[in-house]
Amino acid sequence: MEFMGYKRSDGSVGVRNHVLILPGCACASETCRTVAAQVKGTKNVIINVGCSDVQANTDMTQRVLTGFALNPNVYGVVVIGLGCETVGHKELAAKIRQLTDKPVVSFGIQEEGGTVETAALAVRAARKMVEEASKVKRVPCPVSDLFVAIECGGSDATSGIASNPAVGNMADRIVDMGGTTMMSETVEFIGAEHVLARRGATDEIHDQIIRICEDYEKHLALAGQDCRTGQPTPGNKVGGLSTIEEKSLGCIHKGGTRPVVEVLAEAERPTKKGSLIMDTPGYDISSVTSMVAGGATVVVFTTGRGTPTGHALAPVIKVTGNPTTAERMKDNMDIDVSKILVGEETINEAGKRILDEVLEVASGKVTKAEALGFSDIAVDHICRYI
């Protein structure tokens, strides 16, 4: 099986060919939006971080921003900073250049004399970069070049018995063909972590899966909090999930059944291919942000209650097993697997259908979230602001 992708010089393969207008801090986000609005072929992200922060949060922000720049869906990067943020635009651009040969330029709003002057320079640079990007053509690529992030949000009783198992079947198919899948949301393993840990390819990975769950609960306890007061969410409960164990048992289905070969820190880039886990919060937008920063090029997102979520850099495919949601939110849902519930489609058949959709999207088909222009970004905070 193949898809039509963009081969990069480092051996990775993108499914989109964006020029990224990247803010170095929150104060540059709106200027980036102004630039992207003037240049077709560019994408910007809006962030609320990048300054006045403790070191752990600064490190996280830098890892996410650098990861966005390195994502195979990005051809080149225009960095815009303010000028007084924690990590300046020149430093961020230099860091990106150390890790890739992609074209990278940067501008500072205070240095250039304000938004209008900065935007004018950035627009010229972005236009030139888009021209160069347009020369890169899609070529046939094997499934082994796919890197698919797997997410769930707005879960209900149908998620654990329809959409999540179907996506898990898709995940196994991709891994069996040499590709890479990644599941995250550590808090949504809790109560079922012992089941998930059995998939660890080694004893060390088994223990890592248990440990990230323990560490998450301990971290919250130090702040006087309990994750079980926020999971399941009110929407999950209305949808029929009564305990964190029910939610977690359904959640881990979407990762498939193949051995987990690596457990990664948030927004960390993998060193292996196959079935991966990233240690992230349960907030789905933050989780997707981290996995795309880690290099995922396609996101498959299961939802029972429904969500409009999208991402600027990676297409997000929404899958639901709830027939009411599929109809009520048809402007947001890409795939309906609710026939599983009434025995008119098997999990295996649905998994194959989802894989076919992934290959089409990877080859250029636009998802519902892309058509709407949605971009949801949330950079996680390790610690509170100073």
Mean local confidence (pLDDT), 65-70 = 98
Burial readout 11-42 (b: 16 or more C-beta within 10 A, e: otherwise): ebbbbbbbbbbbbbbbbbbebbbbbbeebebb
Residue 230 pLDDT: 57
Mean local confidence (pLDDT), 18-41 = 98
Mean local confidence (pLDDT), 64-92 = 97
Secondary structure of the chain in HEC code, one letter for each residue: CEEEEEECCCCCEECCCEEEEEECCHHHHHHHHHHHHHCCCEEECCCCCCCCCCHHHHHHHHHHHHHHHHCCCEEEEEEEECCCCCCCHHHHHHHHHHHCCCCEEEEEHHHHCCHHHHHHHHHHHHHHHHHHHCCCCCEEEEHHHCEEEEEECCCCCCHHHHHHHHHHHHHHHHHHCCCEEEECCHHHCCCCHHHHHCCECCHHHHHHHHHHHHHHHHHHHHCCCCHHHCCCCHHHHHCCCCCHHHHHHHHHHCCCCCCEEEEECCCCCCCCCCEEEECCCCCHHHHHHHHHHCCCCEEEEECCCCCCCCCCCCCEEEEECCHHHHHHCCCCCCEECHHHHHCCCCHHHHHHHHHHHHHHHHCCCCCHHHHHCCCCCCCCCCCCCC
Q: In this model, does residue 299 exceed pLDDT 60?
A: yes
Q: Tokens 């457990």 correspond to what residue?
A: 263
Q: CB of 205 within 8 A of CB of 263?
A: yes
d(CA 77, CA 237): 42
Give 88-111 pLDDT, tens digit per residue. Answer: 999 999 999 999 999 999 999 999
Task: Judge if pTM exceeds 0.85.
Answer: yes
Is CATH 3.40.1400.10 the right assignment for the domain spanning 18-133?
yes
Give 130-185 pLDDT, tens digit per residue. Answer: 999 999 999 999 999 999 999 998 888 898 889 999 999 999 999 999 999 999 99
Give the confidence band of 32 by pLDDT, cuts at 50, 70, 90: very high
d(CA 118, CA 341): 55
Residue 386 pLDDT: 44
d(CA 95, CA 299): 26
Map out the domains of the chain as residue ranges: 18-133, 141-372
